[in-house]
Chains A and B, each alone.
Chain A
Amino acid sequence: MGSSPPLLQLGPIGITATVVTTWAVMLLLSLAAWSITRQPRVESPGLFQSAAEGVVLTIRKAIDDVVQDRSAQLLPFVGTLWLFIAVANLAGVVPGVQSPTGDLSATSALALIVFLSVHWFGIRTDGLRGYMRHYLSPSPILLPFHLISELTRTVALAMRLFGNIMSLEMAALLVLLVAGFLVPVPLLMLHIVEALVQAYIFGMLALVYIGGALQVREPHVESQKGDNAS
């Protein structure tokens, strides 16, 4: 279920289709980023440069909505997550290619990166003592619950992406088996929507977890006060 048999064996490590697709997506994104930012122009930017600027600005705005004025720190990580997962999910629409995110190993790796980076950003911002104190924050009795929630939310992050993408591919396959050629096209359209939504949710949850570690307040508290006064 999910994981495929290895295509070729390198010593103890088997190279699966997931690894190949993941590296292809990475290569594609890196090449695109390199070729777009090679010669940026201020006046009369090209088509691709305008598109890339729009994407980056949208991502920065979305990050700013959750954690104010920290987007410079978080933009590289969360933006990469968003772009990579979106492209990796959409790769399943290409004929003959399986989404790497339909494999539990790939999504577990992504969730593990999020788990580690939550602590990394938290310790970098608050210092080790300040970060550790937030585990005891309302009262030390809640320490086990903090630890359990850290574990379960990482597992849930991996499971959610894996389950969604794998079930979509499996549903398309089942409809193809039952009904025949070209019938699963509506399901593939649903696949495109779901791929983008799942990428958004994964990145947004990672952002919320990191924001919780940064101990920043939610921005809408002040704006609501302003609304009440007016």
Chain B
Amino acid sequence: MNISWIVLASTVVAALAIALGTVLPALAMGKAIAQALDSLARQPEAERSITRTLFIGLAMIESLAIYTLVIVLIILFRNPLLEYVLK
């Protein structure tokens, strides 16, 4: 009984967390790409430096989504709280 509640809760929480954790970085990435395209249309000769900065910024934003993924995987597969409850 106790365990099934924990399994249910962790599944729901994991799904919600990965949903939120991908939607918000996706919005941020969209904003960054839109700005980069805007400045690229205005100054095509600065393409190299804009692309480089864009890639680095996207990597920074993307790592937030990756953090969520790692936490979700920990919740689903290696939940440390589960062992505590089982004891």
- Show the binding face of A for B, using Cβ within 8 Å: 1, 65-66, 156, 159-160, 163-164, 167, 197, 200-201, 204-205, 208, 219-220, 223-224, 227
A223-B63 Cα distance, complex, nearest whole Å: 31
Q: Which of B46, B60, B66, B73 contacts A164 (CB 8 A)?
A: B66
Q: What bracket does the count of chain B residues touching chain A fall in?
A: 20 to 34
A-B residue pairs in contact (CB < 8 Å), sample of 22: A1-B73, A1-B74, A65-B48, A65-B52, A156-B63, A159-B66, A160-B59, A160-B62, A160-B66, A163-B63, A163-B66, A163-B69, A164-B62, A164-B66, A167-B66, A167-B69, A197-B55, A200-B55, A204-B52, A204-B55, A205-B59, A219-B49
Residues in A neighbouring B69, C-beta threshold 8 A:
163, 167
Chain B contacts for A219, CB-based, 8 A: 49
Q: Hey, which bits of chain B sit against chain A, CB under 8 A?
A: 43, 45-46, 48-49, 52, 55-56, 59-60, 62-63, 66-67, 69-70, 73-74, 77-78
Query: Is the contact region of chain A dominated by helix, strand, or loop, or is it mixed?
Result: helix
Contacts of B55 in A (CB 8 A): 197, 200-201, 204
Q: How far is the CA of A1 from the CA of B60 in the complex (A)?
A: 23
Contact indicator B67/A159 (Cβ below 8 Å)? yes
In the assembled complex, the CB of A172 is this many whole angstroms from the nearest CB of chain B, namely 15
